[in-house]
Chain A
Amino acid sequence: MGQLTGPTDPAADAGWADRKPRKGFFTDTSICIGCKACEVACKEWNRNPRDGDLELLGSSYDNTGALGASTWRHVAFIEQSKDRIDEARESGRALIDLGVPAFPSPPHTDAGPPEVDFSPPDTPEFRWLMSSDVCKHCTHAGCLDVCPTGALFRTEFGTVVVQDDVCNGCGTCVAGCPFGVVERRSDGTYTTPAQRPGSPVEKPVTGVAQKCTLCYDRLLEDQTPACAQTCPTTSIKFGDHDDLVGQARDRVAQLHAQGRTEARLYGANEHDGVGGTGSMFLLLDEPEVYGLPPDPRVCTADLPEMFRRAGMAAAGMFAAAAVAFWRNR
């Protein structure tokens, strides 16, 4: 049993002797244009079937809705007016003032104004937020830890992958993921009818858990994952996790220097509830606006306590039975 909380190198923790540098994504949503090329590239490369019937969700230009068994990249689309922009800028500024987490909390926060000039640029009347969401490949992955069959495993790149030929579709991982990423595929339809002679008939795997593999097959060939390769604005960056953290910090500092205090990082802190994520994001508003949990905590972090309480309860049941039989003897 590996480490359940705190900072660690996940591949080393999983016992990989010949591990590779940890890979990940850094999704810079400030330059995402919402083209959804990543969604398409992902579907094509991974041969993922269509998600149910094609329909318009009627809430925005996002008609994908959410990540799921057959949707491993999902571009969120949010429209905001000036007051929401101001709010986001304010909450980001409060985050900076709090020094999260670069500096420990100062004893007096009213010690003086921050040194950087945060005078905001002209606030637009309106903005679109677009963000390409993906599996977080957590350092402490709930889905992986609760999987009873070992179908989910940690790769040498520190990512989390489902082996669809081992998974028996119990669905525990679906409830175990604090980000709502992994899902059991109930059915799947290919709509591409062109069946070339000689090529094998494609049939999507069903009844098993499915999620982003960070293109494990491509990583093994030193290739870039399909979504990152196709992203036209380099909003999706792929690389070594440590490099990406540095890049992300530089980028957020750059935006702050422009007065865009709404910029913040999501997942770059190894002390958070999941030990940091492999996929990091630069967000321009609170995480829940994008459908991300504001303070996720991997459920297995509390597992020792859960088992302790369960042991006490079982002992109590034994005791109750002992009392019941003893008195009536």
Chain B
Amino acid sequence: MSTSEFDSLRPPELPGGRRRRKGKRAGRPGGADGSREMPMVPEAEFSSYYGRPVVKPAPWGHEVAAYLFLGGVAGGSGLLAAGAQLTGRPTLRRNTRLSALVAVSLGAVALVKDLGRPERFVNMLRTVKLTSPMSIGSWILSAFSAGAGVAAVAEVDRMTGERLPLGPLRPVLRALEGPAGLEAGLFGPPLAVYTAVLLTNTATPTWNAAYKDLPFVFVSSASLAASGLAMITTPVSEAGPARKLAVIGAIGDLIFARVTEHRMDPVTREPLHHGTPGQMLQWSERLAAAGGLGALLGGGHRGVAALSGLTLLTASALLRFGFFEAGKESARDPRYTIEPQKRRLAARRAAGVTDDSITTSG
């Protein structure tokens, strides 16, 4: 990116130099049929405006990453609670309902806190906008919270020996409890998955590049996290389904994280391996595998189950924070925006598509 006139005096930069890493030029078609002109741009010559970013990272703090995690835990817990309700597991039902409410409340607080104007958070429900994952997500969050709230209050009322000052509303609560629990279960998976669309539907290179497969990673992570929490809170006799779901979630997590990365552009996947986000994601994978194994082999033992649950929760949190931060990192370096775009433009031109470029000769 240097524009000094003395650049011409420097020896030519070797491939694999400062700005070029291996694997980057794979799939670069060049003059495929030999009759074409030179490729439009000289080989991956990367230039930018003084190294300044092209796109801006979302101004989201750790609260949003925490919400990705908490929303997953809440959604998964809501689903587990509905399952426990339908299959007659009162302890699992009670614990997962309470978990769902606590997680979704903390998550909502985190979201509101991250707003630039928190006092205007209700504006989220001003309109229904199908093109905005944030809008759809706000409605999903509201619908889930309503169901989870009613179901959890009913549990609290039962736990306290009907001491909540409900008065004549108690029969209403009892009547609503079942449908509300099922409604929360219905909105659980959407709550767990919409955050994936929220991240991928952006111009942030590493997030956007994962758009096809990230939803599968997020539902897997939500499943294993919520199951992990249930394994901590619930005795092994009733936590059987949670253990199963934890194992399925862990397997899904390990597979889909790899698939996601495999399908990403080789440049945009780099931030997933660098620095702190890279370490977080690596540890997330290890812990998911360990927790899944623990649930599968030692889930019958209360201590092992609780430890595995904790491991799984940590794995999920690390995944969310790692992926979140990797994306923000990718927006801060112009390379992740410019190089994949140049490559796909050159590929389209090499394939004979010349009418869809933003740069035109006339």
Asked if A321 contacts B79 (CB within 8 A), the reply is: yes
Minimum CB–CB distance from B150 to chain A (whole Å) comes to 21
**Residues 23 to 81 of chain B near chain A (Cβ within 8 Å):** 35-38, 40-42, 47-50, 52-60, 76, 79-80
Asked if B190 contacts A314 (CB within 8 A), the reply is: yes
Interface of A is mostly: mixed
For A272, give the chain B residue with the smallest CB separation.
B358
For B355, give the chain A residue with the smallest CB separation.
A101
A4 to B194, CA, bound (A): 19
Asked if B37 contacts A94 (CB within 8 A), the reply is: yes
A234 to B208, CA, bound (A): 38
Minimum CB–CB distance from A98 to chain B (whole Å) comes to 5
B212 CB contacts on chain A under 8 angstroms = 305, 309
Asked if B123 contacts A178 (CB within 8 A), the reply is: no
B340-362 to A contact mask, C-beta < 8 Å, 1/0: 01101100010011111111111
A87 CB contacts on chain B under 8 angstroms = 42
Asked if B197 contacts A310 (CB within 8 A), the reply is: yes
The contact of B124 among A148, A176, A177, by CB within 8 Å, is A148
Minimum CB–CB distance from A212 to chain B (whole Å) comes to 14
For B55, give the chain A residue with the smallest CB separation.
A180
Q: Does A199 contact B (CB under 8 A)?
A: no
Q: Does A287 contact B (CB under 8 A)?
A: yes
| With A180-B56, A295-B341: A287-B189 Cβ-Cβ less than 8 Å | no
Minimum CB–CB distance from A210 to chain B (whole Å) comes to 10
The contact of B361 among A92, A142, A177, A294, by CB within 8 Å, is A92
Q: Does A78 contact B (CB under 8 A)?
A: yes
Minimum CB–CB distance from B7 to chain A (whole Å) comes to 7
A150-189 to B contact mask, C-beta < 8 Å, 1/0: 1100000000000000111111101111111011111000
Q: Does B17 contact A (CB under 8 A)?
A: no
B174-206 to A contact mask, C-beta < 8 Å, 1/0: 000000000000001110111011101111100
| With A253-B362, A295-B344, A316-B219: A172-B58 Cβ-Cβ less than 8 Å | yes
Asked if B130 contacts A1 (CB within 8 A), the reply is: yes
Q: Does B129 contact A (CB under 8 A)?
A: yes
B249 CB contacts on chain A under 8 angstroms = 320
| With A91-B40, A180-B56, A286-B47: A321-B358 Cβ-Cβ less than 8 Å | no
A227 CB contacts on chain B under 8 angstroms = none
B96-130 to A contact mask, C-beta < 8 Å, 1/0: 00000000000000000011111011011011011
Minimum CB–CB distance from A103 to chain B (whole Å) comes to 8
Asked if A306 contacts B349 (CB within 8 A), the reply is: no
| With A81-B5, A286-B47: A149-B127 Cβ-Cβ less than 8 Å | yes
A19-38 to B contact mask, C-beta < 8 Å, 1/0: 00000000000000000000
Q: How big is chain B's contact interface, by range?
A: 35 or more
B138 CB contacts on chain A under 8 angstroms = 148
Asked if B120 contacts A168 (CB within 8 A), the reply is: yes
A142 to B208, CA, bound (A): 13
A320 to B243, CA, bound (A): 12
Tell me which of A39-47, A214-222, A259-267 binds B. Answer: A259-267
Asked if B361 contacts A100 (CB within 8 A), the reply is: yes
The contact of A328 among B79, B123, B241, B349, by CB within 8 Å, is B241
For B60, give the chain A residue with the smallest CB separation.
A171
A249 to B130, CA, bound (A): 37
For A290, give the chain B residue with the smallest CB separation.
B49
A318 to B49, CA, bound (A): 47
Asked if B355 contacts A325 (CB within 8 A), the reply is: no
**Residues 232 to 274 of chain A near chain B (Cβ within 8 Å):** 249, 252-253, 256, 264-269, 271-274
Asked if A97 contacts B37 (CB within 8 A), the reply is: yes
A141 to B239, CA, bound (A): 48
Tell me which of A48-56, A58-66, A190-198 binds B. Answer: A58-66
Q: How big is chain A's contact interface, by range?
A: 35 or more
A327 to B341, CA, bound (A): 48
For A146, give the chain B residue with the smallest CB separation.
B132
Minimum CB–CB distance from B288 to chain A (whole Å) comes to 15
Other 16 A-B pairs with CB < 8 A, given A148-B132, A207-B117, A324-B248: A82-B5, A84-B3, A95-B359, A95-B360, A98-B40, A146-B201, A167-B123, A175-B203, A184-B59, A186-B59, A288-B47, A293-B338, A296-B358, A299-B202, A321-B223, A324-B83
- Residue positions of A touching B, CB distance < 8 A: 1, 4, 57, 59-60, 65-66, 76, 78-84, 87, 91-92, 94-102, 104-105, 108-110, 126, 142, 145-151, 166-172, 174-180, 182-186, 206-209, 249, 252-253, 256, 264-269, 271-274, 277, 283, 286-296, 299-300, 302-303, 305-307, 309-310, 312-318, 320-325, 327-329
- Residue positions of B touching A, CB distance < 8 A: 3-5, 7-8, 35-38, 40-42, 47-50, 52-60, 76, 79-80, 83-84, 86-87, 114-118, 120-121, 123-124, 126-127, 129-135, 137-138, 188-190, 192-194, 196-198, 200-204, 207-208, 211-213, 215-216, 218-219, 222-223, 240-242, 244-245, 248-249, 252, 331, 334, 337-338, 341-342, 344-345, 349, 352-362
- A-B contact list, 21 entries, CB within 8 Å: A82-B5, A100-B360, A101-B357, A148-B132, A170-B114, A174-B58, A175-B202, A176-B202, A177-B56, A180-B54, A183-B59, A208-B116, A264-B360, A288-B54, A289-B47, A295-B358, A302-B201, A303-B201, A312-B216, A317-B192, A329-B87
